Amino acid sequence: MDLKRTLTALVLFSLLILTLVKGSNFFLFLILLVVAILCFYEWKNLYEIPFLLWISGEILLIISFILIFRFEWSVFYIFYLFLSCSFILFLFNFDKNFFKTLFFPFLVGIIYIFIGLYPLWEILNSFERKYLIYFFSVICGNDTGAYLIGTFIGRTPFFLKISPKKTWEGFFGGVVFSLVIAFFLNQYFGLFSMKFNVLLSIILSTAGNIGDLLESAFKRIMDKKDSGKLIVGHGGILDRIDSILLSSPVFLFFLKNYFF
């Protein structure tokens, strides 16, 4: 077991929960914005996006979060902004090979990062913070369980071509860990019915694993091991939050349909 990875995860998780409990909405908005900027920086390195195109992507992400935060724009119009502006960036100096190589990685990158971080902002503004504490705890529990069980008893490869180190034992270990954490948090906070809580934790664990595999696929096609080196024992920010990016929209969907 990697001690550095474990200690880093514990420290980051503790800071996250402390921030959710004590931080103002504006402070949490700034954290989301900084995370988005760092994520796209790592995406730029992963896909070798040129400097000016990278800066343009960062500006697009910053504008999109400001439009959501200050003016409450619909996500539909944000995606339209991404699509149209992404094309305009290539329009005045169009080169077929340059466009073919970089347009889709650029567009997918900003959508991927936005679609994974935006739901956290909507949950923060629409629900009590205990729901985000539940969400992050279940996802982190899944990651921890998958890592520990996979490390000690993992034998059966889990989508070998995408991520050789992941195993089915790790997958089910992560689901069990998330179920246990979801049970105790639900008992403490009184969030959901028992059946809904079990279903939700299993779905979040599955979505988190798909998010992890998606990030692994992004790295594999570029022959990269990590998205960055910012977090000790974990690689980059994208490596640390890959399961969050795909599970946060799922959590928002279930919250909205459970309560409304």
The DSSP symbol for 127 reads S
- Which residues, in sequence order, are CB contacts of 206 under 8 Å at separation 6+? 175
Strand partners of residue 235: 231
Reading the block at residue 31, the tokens are: 């954290």
Average pLDDT over every residue of 46-57: 96
- Which residues, in sequence order, are CB contacts of 218 under 8 Å at separation 6+? 46
pTM to 2 decimal places: 0.94
Average pLDDT over every residue of 68-85: 93
Tally of residues, the chain? 260
Q: Specify the residue for token string 């009184």.
A: 190
The 10 Å Cβ neighbour count of residue 122 is 16
33 residue type, one letter: L
Give pLDDT, residue 235. 80
Q: Are 43 and 109 in contact (CB under 8 A)?
A: yes
* Residue (of 2, 21, 17) closest to 165 by Cα position: 2
Give the model confidence (pLDDT) of 100-130 as tens digits: 999 999 999 999 999 999 999 999 999 999 9
